[in-house]
Amino acid sequence: MSAKMIEVRWHGRGGQGAKTAALLFAQAVLTTGKYIQAFPEYGPERMGAPVQSFNRVSDSPITIHCSITEPQFVVILDPTLLDAVDVTEGVGTQGKVIVNTSFSAEEMAKKLGIAKEQVYVVNASKIAEETIGKNIPNTPMLGALVKVIGNLDINGVLNDTKAKLEVKFRSKPEVIEGNIASIKRAYDEVKNS
Amino acid sequence: MVKTMFSKGKIVAKTGNEIMAEAMRQIAPDVVAAYPITPATEIVQIFSQFVADGKVPTEFVAVESEHSAMSATISASVAGARAMTGTSSQGFALMWEMLYIAAGLRLPIVMAEVNRALSAPINIHGDQSDTMGARDAGWIQIYSENSQEAYDNMIQSVRIAEAAKLPAMVTTDGFIISHCMEVAEVYPDADVKEFVGEYKPERALLDYKRPFTLGAIDLQDYYFEHRYQLAQAMRDSKKIILEVADEFKKKFGREYGFYEKYEMDDAEIAIVTIGSAAGTTKAVVDNLRAKGIKAGLIKIRVYRPFPAEEIAKDLSKVKAIAVLDRADSCSATFAPVYLDVVAALYANCGDKAPKAENYVYGLGGREISLEHIEEVYMKLDAVAKGTKKASTQVEYINVRIK
Amino acid sequence: MKKEDKKLTAAELPAGGLLEGGTAENFKTGPWRSQRPVWNKDKCISCLTCWIYCPDSAIKIAPDEKKTTVVTGIDYDHCKGCGICARECPPKVAAITMEEEKK
């Protein structure tokens, strides 16, 4: 793995959209001119089961097809996974973990057993309820991830996601607006405190 | 920065399955007959959606099994249609007897195949056991490292199959490529259509003015000649494959051959492998090169016909090689790709052949990491330096033996 | 004894075991017949039932002066003497009878 490559691991439960989030993220980042990969981990597929998906982002072509074991970024869509899965596996002392939670970064760092500097929190479920009208945390978490990674263009991500959603929800413009608003809010609200 | 190779190309993010379905839409065969199976389901699912949406004029035949899928594809091909199908693993195994018939009747069928482990025990993940078992069925086999290659290989295989009068399968590694979204360049429909051209079969059963019989019994006096023809057609197809690749490069800019050489010019040790693991190996080669170790890679793209003389020539300059097989042979000797590579070396290089080891990896989707591959290169380095003897049996990567 | 036909080589054979249509014309497939159908032109009403049923296409037909298709005889090169034509010929007509083949 080259030093410049970013690797991301998404944790969710079957049905929460962890795979979709990784695909949306990859497609959105591609529009900014970077090389991407998005792939799910396929296990027993059922609603509610812990699932993972992955992203790679790089300025140069990505040839590797091995799994991601030391992600720089981990996104946790569902805080109840903390008790079920080792979400910090491979994170080390440098990786950053973004959690959908109402707890503070300090409290979450304690739960996760990693340094506070590594933990980012955002109440994506609340944001989703208020913007989309449903607890669908995957799109707001996209915004949070873009913010934490730092060197990605949020407007590019918003525009691409909007274009994707416009194809899928042609007859429901409120869904599109809600999703876009949720990404923006999570981008603004994700914090390290 | 992602760039196109073809002036009219478009950069997209697509999974292996999505891009194979896209290639099929652009090729627009007359008939597709298929039955779904993980992890190839999406190929025919997406394609059947194209048909339903009127985006491709293909006659889609939803059959009740893969045996029927291949039977219907064969029938369509005999009738004079450009016919395609797609499958994986158990479905591929169920096609088995029809695979040989498609080849024996010399039908230019193109199949999108997603490599997956064979039962038992049941496993849906990627390895190459399925198509490796059919390596001598008389089908051209083209393996893809990533989405881009899967797309380009599909487009080229139509031309190759029709010129060689041989069926051809294009494969990707199950899940690792089939379900991995990657950056790829797609070409406009019109350019793909122009490259693929119109299929004009020499003979078609629907041409009632020139009736013929196909599939008649062929006994001691003629069967052998027909099988010789098939074997010879496979040998002759090598020239066609290179011609099509050449034309493809001129048109779309991407270069393809029988295999890809990566850092082979001055390599002292080399890995030979097929499929997605080759991409991972490239990263290891880069790391080793940075440390001053002269590592190289040969990634086989066209496994049938096997480019024996060519590969032997390129490997003859190397001191030690390892062939990494994603299928075992259960023969008590070596795995398929190793057998072909070593036979090629023995026939062409004699005493000058490099030391060769064989590693089986990744069965049932088992992880193959950068570290695993680096370990193989370190062993090869020791063999090349004479501090380790080359193993005389199959070695295994990342499996719990004891 | 008949001399064996020259066998085609792999280079000469069409690919895929393809056989041209109508090649049975080049072979005499009937000489092992033990019974032969004998057709009586005067009794025959050209209903073509025999032509429909013959498994070896051995009933010869042609248009007559009124351009009506009529039976013109039996192709003994391909008739294997199965007797279906004689059986299917309407009893009131009985234009085909089976006789012992002289060998």
Alpha-carbon gap: B216 to the closest alpha carbon of chain A (Å): 46
Instruction: With residue A75 as reference, give the H or E element that holds it.
Output: strand A73-76
CA–CA gap between residue B279 and residue B255 (Å, rounded): 16
> What is the span of the domain harbouring residue C72?
27-97
Any B CB within 8 A of C66 CB: no
> Starting from the edge strand earliest in sequence, which strands make up the sheet with B395-396, in order?
B259-262, B295-300, B269-274, B320-325, B355-360, B395-396
Q: What is the pLDDT of residue B372?
A: 98
Number of other CB atoms surrounding residue C30 within 10 Å: 18
Q: What is the pLDDT of residue B205?
A: 95
pLDDT of residue B238 exceeding 60? yes
Q: Nearest CB to B181: which of A38, A63, A64? A: A38
Mean pLDDT, rounded, for A164-185: 89
φ/ψ bin of C87: left (φ > 0), alpha (ψ from -120 to 50), beta (otherwise): alpha
What's the whole-number average pLDDT of chain B?
Answer: 97
Looking only at the bridges linking them, the beta strands covering B295-300 and B259-262 are antiparallel
pLDDT of residue A61 exceeding 70? yes
Assign B211 a pLDDT band (cuts: 50, 70, 90).
very high
Assign C3 a pLDDT band (cuts: 50, 70, 90).
low
Assign B312 a pLDDT band (cuts: 50, 70, 90).
very high
pLDDT of residue C2 exceeding 80? no
Q: What is the pLDDT of residue C102?
A: 84
Q: Which domains does chain B have, with CATH numbers?
A: 10-23+88-198+225-252 (3.40.50.970), 259-396 (3.40.50.920)
Coil vs helix vs strand at A6: strand
Any B CB within 8 A of A45 CB: no
CA–CA gap between residue A140 and residue A153 (Å, rounded): 15
- Indicate yes or no: CB of B370 within 8 angstroms of CB of A39: no
Q: Find the closest chain B residue to A27 by CA distance.
A: B13
Measured between beta carbons, the chain B residues lying within 8 angstroms of C4 are: none
Domains in chain C, number: 1
Q: What percent of chain B has pLDDT over 90?
A: 99
Looking only at the bridges linking them, the beta strands covering A96-100 and B140-143 are unpaired
Q: Is residue C16 part of a domain?
A: no
Alpha-carbon gap: B233 to the closest alpha carbon of chain C (Å): 9
Domains in chain A, number: 1
Q: What is the pLDDT of residue A44?
A: 61
Q: Is residue C69 part of a domain?
A: yes
Mean pLDDT, rounded, for B226-250: 98
pLDDT of residue B284 exceeding 80? yes
Closest CA to A117 of A103, A99, A101, A97: A97
- Indicate yes or no: CB of B213 within 8 angstroms of CB of C15: no
Coil vs helix vs strand at A117: helix
Tens-digit pLDDT profile for residues A121-146:
999 999 999 999 998 899 999 999 99
Q: Is residue A154 part of a domain?
A: yes
Two structure tokens written together for B300: 């086989």
Mean pLDDT, rounded, for B282-303: 98
Which class for C48: exposed (0-12), middle (13-18), buried (19 or more C-beta within 10 A)? middle
Q: Measured in Å, how far apart are chain B's first and last C-alpha atoms?
A: 47
Tens-digit pLDDT profile for residues A21-54:
999 999 999 988 899 999 998 766 677 889 999 9
Q: Do chains A and B touch (3 or more CB pairs under 8 A)?
A: yes
Closest CA to B155 of B249, B69, B77, B238: B249
Angle (nearest 5°) at CA B387 between B385 and B390: 85
- Indicate yes or no: CB of B1 within 8 angstroms of CB of A23: no
Tens-digit pLDDT profile for residues B163-172:
999 999 999 9
Task: Pick the range with the lowest mean pLDDT from A165-169, B271-275, B338-342, B397-401.
Answer: A165-169
Note every long-range contact of C82-89, with CB atoms under 8 Å and residues 24 or more positions apart, other chains counting: C82/C55, C82/C56, C83/C35, C83/C37, C84/C50, C84/C53, C84/C54, C84/C55, C85/C37, C85/C50, C85/C53, C85/C54, C85/C59, C86/C37, C88/C49, C88/C50, C88/C53, C89/C49, C89/C50
CATH code, domain with C65: 3.30.70.20
Alpha-carbon gap: A15 to the closest alpha carbon of chain B (Å): 17
Burial pattern B47-64, b for ≥16 Cβ within 10 A else e, equals bbebbeeeebebebbebe
The residue written with tokens 């080849």 in the block is B103
Any C CB within 8 A of B207 CB: no
Assign A1 a pLDDT band (cuts: 50, 70, 90).
very low
How many B/C residue pairs have CB atoms within 8 Å? 49
Q: Find the closest chain C residue to B229 by CA distance.
A: C10
Q: What is the pLDDT of residue C4?
A: 67
Q: Is residue A1 part of a domain?
A: no
Q: What percent of chain A has pLDDT over 90?
A: 74
Alpha-carbon gap: B220 to the closest alpha carbon of chain C (Å): 12
Q: What is the pLDDT of residue A169?
A: 84
Q: What is the pLDDT of residue B192?
A: 98
CA–CA gap between residue B164 and residue B154 (Å, rounded): 15
| Omega within 30 of 0 (cis) for the link into A28 | no
Give the residue, B269 or A1, on which the prediction is more confident.
Answer: B269
Two structure tokens written together for C56: 């070896």
Q: Is residue C5 part of a domain?
A: no
Mean pLDDT, rounded, for A144-167: 90
Task: Pick the range with the lowest mean pLDDT from A48-57, B49-58, B297-306.
Answer: A48-57
A35, B183 Cβ separation under 8 angstroms: yes
Alpha-carbon gap: C64 to the closest alpha carbon of chain B (Å): 25
Q: What is the pLDDT of residue A2?
A: 53
Task: Pick the range with the lowest mean pLDDT from A10-24, A162-176, B114-128, B208-222.
Answer: A162-176
> What is the span of the domain harbouring residue A39?
6-189
Any B CB within 8 A of A70 CB: no
- Indicate yes or no: CB of B225 within 8 angstroms of CB of C9: yes
The residue written with tokens 């040998």 in the block is B235
The residue written with tokens 């009893």 in the block is C91
CATH code, domain with A153: 3.40.920.10
The three-state (H, E, C) secondary structure of chain B, written as one string: CCCCCCCCCEEEEECHHHHHHHHHHHHCCCEEEECCCCCCHHHHHHHHHHHHCCCCCCEEEECCCHHHHHHHHHHHHHHCCCEEEEEEHHHHHHCHHHHHHHHHCCCCCEEEEEECCCCCCCCCCCCCHHHHHCCCCCCEEEECCCHHHHHHHHHHHHHHHHHHCCCEEEEEECCCCCCCEEEEEECCHHHHHHHHCCCCCCCCCCCCCCCEECCCCCCCCCHHHHHHHHHHHHHHHHHHHHHHHHHHHHHHCCCCCCEEEECCCCCCEEEEEECCHHHHHHHHHHHHHHCCCCEEEEEECEEECCCHHHHHHHHCCCCEEEEEECCCCCCCCCCHHHHHHHHHHHHHHHHHCCEEEEEECCHHHCCCCHHHHHHHHHHHHHHHHCCCCCCCCCEECCCCCC
Q: What is the pLDDT of residue A4?
A: 82
Q: Is residue C71 part of a domain?
A: yes
pLDDT of residue B222 exceeding 60? yes
B279, A65 Cβ separation under 8 angstroms: yes
